[in-house]
Amino acid sequence: MKKIMVFGSFDHLHPGHINFFRQAKEHGTYLLVAVARDATIKQIKGRLPVFTEDERMQHLMAIPDVDEVVLGYPDDKFKVIEENRPDIICLGHDQHVFADRLPEELRRRGLDIPVVRLKAYRRDIYQSSHFRKNSWDLNSPEDLNRKHDALKRTIK
């Protein structure tokens, strides 16, 4: 078994994420997804995610290419790598927070894990920031139901 690890918040799942998981899975047989904690997202992006970390984990487990989902650590972003010891780490084309210093941090911790940057998929359409701009009113039951329906269609 060759374990691939990816990271992210995965708040607004869309076809770009599905393509990201498929590209990552081409590098091995077992895809492990590390999900950013709510507190980490708030610290980095200045806002909480729309879906809680538990909801995001559930959404990810519904994706066929994903074999396992774990939560990251708010105090040590690299601890999840040490614990899971992947054979390869795949990064999204636009991942820079945490990822920019990843190779040097892996070396510092004595981990010899290749890091591969994956290609963008229809970046003009499928980028999480585009979905955030058209965010749903999660206090509205109608919008919440539409968001869940859209998420189910994305995963299929």
pLDDT at 55: 95
Summarize pLDDT for 62-89 with one digit per residue, the tens. 999 999 999 999 889 899 999 999 999 9
H helix or E strand, kind and range, residue 82: helix 79-84
Closest by alpha carbon to 117, among 98, 97, 95? 95
Query: All domains of the chain, ordered by start, with CATH?
Result: 3-155 (3.40.50.620)
pLDDT at 152: 57
Written as one string, the DSSP assignment of 2-65 is -EEEEEE---S--HHHHHHHHHHHTT-SEEEEEEPPHHHHHHHHSS--SS-HHHHHHHHHTSTT
3-state class (DSSP) for residue 116: strand
CB of 72 closer than 8 Å to CB of 35: yes
H helix or E strand, kind and range, residue 155: helix 141-155
pLDDT at 86: 98
In the numeric block, which tokens belong to residue 68? 């396992």
Residues 6 or more apart from 117 whose CB is under 8 A from it?
Answer: 90, 91, 92, 93
What is the full per-residue pLDDT of the chain (156 aa) written as tens digits?
999 999 999 988 888 899 999 999 999 999 999 999 999 999 888 999 999 999 999 999 999 999 999 999 988 989 999 999 999 999 998 887 777 889 999 999 999 999 999 988 755 544 544 444 444 444 445 655 555 565 555 555
pTM for the predicted model, two decimal places: 0.79
